[in-house]
Every structure is written in structure tokens, then in C-alpha cells.
Chain A
Amino acid sequence: MKVLVPVKRVIDYNVKVRVKSDKTGVDLANVKMSMNPFDEISVEEAVRMKEAGTVSEIIVVSVGPQQAQETIRTALAMGADRGILVKTDEMVEPLGVAKILAKIVAEETPDLVILGKQAIDDDSNQTGQMLGAILDWPQGTFASEVKVDGGQFHVTREVDGGLQTVALDGPSIVTVDLRLNEPRYASLPNIMKAKKKPIDMKAPEDYGVDIAPRLSVIEVSEPAVREAGEKVEDVATLVSKLKTAGAI
């Protein structure tokens, strides 16, 4: 079967985010960018399925600037087969990304679209579910285990009360959570090999969908800073402080 893995280029998760002084957004200049960590997990899962023989081809797609090509190359070095970059310098919202992905799904006819449950930049947690609705495909979100069983996917989901397993019939959407797997580091030979793998260059206009933003950013500000309190000497002092504060 064929798998489509959408990936997003975001600020590296170790970078301390700085809000721009004019409050128009977050400072992206000279900041390390990486693949969204959840998307790395989805790439890894697709590669493991290929290694297990259940998947024949993995297509990686990204909607983003020219540099998102590097993100696609990372996925190719991990073991994906080819890439599609839908190049745009505009910010595309989850709804717009889902519309573009739906068109790519129509062209590529994958059996599974597997992607991160959220991107760590906007924390929206929407794209997979939106794609599912547009395609009328079933979804297994926040996956900690994915099993392929004939024409069905059995997805174990991390939900508020614990774990829930759902069965999905036919082509499906899976969004992945942190504990699905631990992504590999690409080896140097694989990084070299990935340079020869094809990346198809596209533009949003190629897909004829409305991706105009629906939200306008009024401002982006720093969160209220929480002041550090005091260090206490010992447990007895801690208990007396908590009693004074009315916390216990």
C-alpha cells in the first residue's frame, strides 16, 4: 500500500521562542528550524511499515517555503521514497493545508495519510481531522499504536481517560502521538542517497483551492512572566510556608 506523510517545517523544539518587539509574530530570523517532532514520528512509522513489507511507497509532502525542501530531504533520508513541495511564502492555515492535501490525495490515491497530531508552532491540532472530513475518510487521532489488518487499520489512541482502540475501514487518516515510536537518525549514506530522490515542485495555485487565511493576527505577545519564588531550607519550612499560604 501507498502512504502519504505530510510534514511541517517549524522552529526546532529546543529553541527558546522570542516574540518580536513589534508584536507581529515570533522571531524566525536566524533560528534553527527542524521537522515538527510529531511529523518525524509519522515518517518513522511509515518507514517501519515499509520495512515490515506492508507499505510499498512513501510520499512526503510539505506546504511551506523553499527551505521546507530540507525538511522533505530529512524524511527521504529516513526512508521515504519521494517528495512533493507545495511552495509558498505565505502562512497557510490548517484548513488551507488540508484542502491542498485533499487534492494531492486525489492525485496520488494513498491508502493511508499519517501525520503529526499537532505542529509545535501553532499548536492547532487540526490538519489531520480536517483532511479526514474533506475526504470523508475515518480517522484515528493521537495514535500510540497502529496495526494494519487486511483492509482495516486498528489505531490505539491516547485519550483523556487512558487508551482507546478504534477500527478504521478503507483509506484512513492517522495522527500520531509521542509514544508511537522513537524516530531514527538518518545515516550518512542514507542522507547521500536522499539527495537523489525526486522532489516534485508545486505551487498552491496548481491545486485550485481557496487557501486565503481566515484569521488575522491582531498581536502576538509574551506570556505573563511567573516570578521565581524562594528556596526553602527543609521540609519543615516548606510545610509551614504552605500552611501560611493556605495551600494545605
Chain B
Amino acid sequence: MAILIIADHDNTALSDATAKTVTAAHAFGGDVDVLVAGEGAGSVAAEAAKLSGVRKVLHADGAIYKKQLAEAMEALIVPLMDGYDALFAPATTMGKNVTPRIAAKLDVMQISDIIEIKDSATFVRPIYAGNAIMTVSSSDAKKIVTVRGTAFAAASADGSAAIETISAPDAALKSSFVSEEVVKSDRPELTAAKSVVSGGRALGSEDEFQRLIVPLADKLGAAVGASRAAVDAGYAPNDYQVGQTGKIVAPELYVAVGISGAIQHLAGMKDSKIIVAINKDDEAPIFQVADYGLVADLFSAVPELTDAL
């Protein structure tokens, strides 16, 4: 069997989610190749070649791959799939955007967000925001899956696969990149961070979010997250959102500040190793999943905690 993985990257670095997808592909079993499609992404291809157990890296270079838009990726990957039994992609916004197009073109029902592989046809995935866990078996000849990063460890970087340059097919594309607002940050990436500090609506404003959450995250070397309510209220940008429809995280330490714990938020963080909740509402559902709950006014407790660290 041969598996193709779509690498998730920004043309300079490979995402941690890709290394985790490699581990999932090894659990599926077979020869694992990684496709790096980008513009000037040679360093990413080199990084992918080091991932443990990768047979080869396919490197497609072209301006149309710079942002890995779905239509260009579909035109590139569909013909490649003749040589593969399975397509794996990380369940990042890239993977979610691209893989269903390829699945539909190949008449395959994709299996999204897998957390376990039982055998070459059977996969486990959460449904209903993780309130139920479904095991499904696929009758399709080829398997197309996206992989939830928190469920697999990252493959180590001790390999040395060959890099093969592949040419880009001509495709008349009906979509084009216009602009982006990328939040530049020195913090660890939310889904890969060892610690996460998340703020909720109880913070009351963007200023308080910055004043209280950011210094605590700095002390812990943590990534910053937010509940949907805090993002909707404009206290934090959209890419901070942790939950069913935002990012799924499972750090060593998750500190939830002023977050009540709606099931949609819990879906995004309940696999964290240690959960700390700070909330003045004794009855908040977040305390039902917290290892350590502090019933307190966050405006005094958070600065005190930051100082104590």
C-alpha cells in the first residue's frame, strides 16, 4: 500500500500537524510519501524528507501553490492519486479546505478528523463536538482521511527521504489569492503548544484580555487561546478560538480563565493533560472537566497567579 500525505506549511516551515499525520499514516501502514506544494518551499521539502519513515517527498513548486488554494491543489493531486491507495492530510484549515474536493473527484467518501486507525478500512472519529465517538468502515477502494493532530504524536526528524521534483499540471483556475491578515507572534503555535492560556467572555474587553491573559501566557511560555464568546465579542482574533469549530488543542497544561465551558468549547480542549479553571461561578461546567478549579474573581486571581509564577 502507498499513502500520499499533503504537507501543511507556510513555504518556510512545515507544520507540526504534518509530522503528526505521518505518524497516523504509519499506523495505517504502507509506503508514506509527502507532497510539498508551495512557492519557494525547498526548505519545507527538506524538512519533510527528514520525517521518520517517509519514503520520498514530492515537491511541486509554483506561484499557484503559494497559498495552497483548493482548486490548484485538486488539479495537482487528483492525477497523483493513481499511484496511491490512500490520501492523508492534517485536519487544519488547509486540509479541511482541500481534501473533500479530491475525494469528490475520485468518488470517495472522506473520513474527517480521525483520532484512531483500527485497520486499513476502519477509522475512529468524534461526532457531535466529541460527545460521541464513531467507528466507521469504508468500502471505498481508496481511503481519504484528515487527521486530528492531538490524537497522534509527531513523527521524529531522523529520516532522510529522497526529494523528487514534480511538474505542475496546467490548470485554468477560477480562484485567486487577494490578501491576508496573518497574526505574527513569537508564541508557540496554539495546536502545538505545551501550555495554553485561554480567555473567555468574563474578561469583558480586549484591553482586559491583553492585560490579564497575555502576561500569564508569557510567564508560562504558553500559547493564547479564547472561547468563541470572547472571539465573537472582539476580545481576541478568530484564529485564537478553541472549540468544535475552532482549534482542537491537547496541551500538557490548559488554563481556562473566565470561560464557562460550553460543550462546544470543551470539545476543543478536554483532552488536555491538566486543566485549570478560574471562574467566579461555582457552577460553571468548566469545573466538571478541570483538574484544579479556582472559584475566584479573575481580575484579582490572574495577576496574583502571574506574579506567583
- A: residues with CB less than 8 A from B are 11, 13, 16-17, 19, 26, 38, 93-95, 98, 117-118, 120-134, 136-142, 144, 154, 157-170, 172, 177-179, 213-223, 226, 228-232, 234-236, 238-239, 241-242, 245, 247-248
Contact = CB atoms under 8 A, between A and B. Distances in A.
Interface of B: 10, 67, 69-71, 74, 92-94, 96-105, 107-113, 122, 126-140, 173-183, 191, 220, 228, 231-232, 237-239, 244-245, 247, 252-253, 263-264, 270, 273-276, 287-296, 301, 304-305, 308-309
A220 to B, nearest CB: 5
B10 A161 contact: yes
Contacts of A217: 134-136
A120 B239 contact: no
Contacts of B228: 178
Given A121-B127, A129-B104, A161 B183 contact: yes
Contacts of B132: 17, 19, 26, 220-223
A221 B288 contact: no
Contacts of A223: 126, 130-133
A132 B101 contact: yes
A19, A213, A235, A248 pick with most chain B CB within 10 angstroms? A235
B112 A124 contact: yes
A126 B112 contact: yes
A10 to B, nearest CB: 9
A164 B127 contact: no
Given A17-B131, A144-B238, A166-B178, A245 B93 contact: no
A166 B69 contact: yes
A18 to B, nearest CB: 9
A163 B238 contact: yes
The binding surface of chain B is classed by DSSP as: mixed
Contacts of A163: 180-181, 238
A121 B176 contact: no
Contacts, number: 251
B37 to A, nearest CB: 16
A129 B108 CA distance: 13
Given A120-B129, A121-B128, A248 B253 contact: yes
Nearest to A99: B104
B274 A162 contact: no
B108, B127, B253, B308 pick with most chain A CB within 10 angstroms? B127
A120 B244 CA distance: 9
Contacts of B270: 226
11 contacts: A98-B104, A129-B97, A129-B104, A139-B97, A164-B181, A226-B275, A228-B288, A231-B294, A231-B295, A235-B308, A238-B292
A235 B294 contact: yes
A187 to B, nearest CB: 24
A181 B272 CA distance: 31
Contact of B308 (A158, A168, A236): A236
Contact of A160 (B74, B178, B239): B239
A141 B107 CA distance: 21
Nearest to A221: B133
Contacts of B69: 166
Given A162-B182, A164-B67, A218-B122, A238 B276 contact: yes
Contacts of B67: 164
Given A179-B232, A235-B304, A123 B137 contact: no
Given A26-B127, A179-B232, A217-B136, 13 more contacts: A11-B128, A98-B104, A123-B128, A130-B101, A134-B104, A139-B70, A154-B178, A161-B180, A169-B176, A214-B140, A229-B275, A229-B292, A231-B287
Given A144-B238, A216-B137, A165 B293 contact: no
A155 B104 CA distance: 22
A162 to B, nearest CB: 5
A214 B93 contact: no
A215 B309 contact: no
B122, B175, B183, B293 pick with most chain A CB within 10 angstroms? B175
Contacts of A162: 180-183, 237-239
A128 B112 CA distance: 14
A129 B101 contact: yes
Contact of A123 (B113, B181, B232, B253): B113
A169 B174 contact: yes
B110 A124 contact: yes
Given A95-B109, A120-B128, A121-B127, A130 B245 contact: no
Contacts of B173: 138
Nearest to A20: B132
A97 B180 CA distance: 32
A240 to B, nearest CB: 9
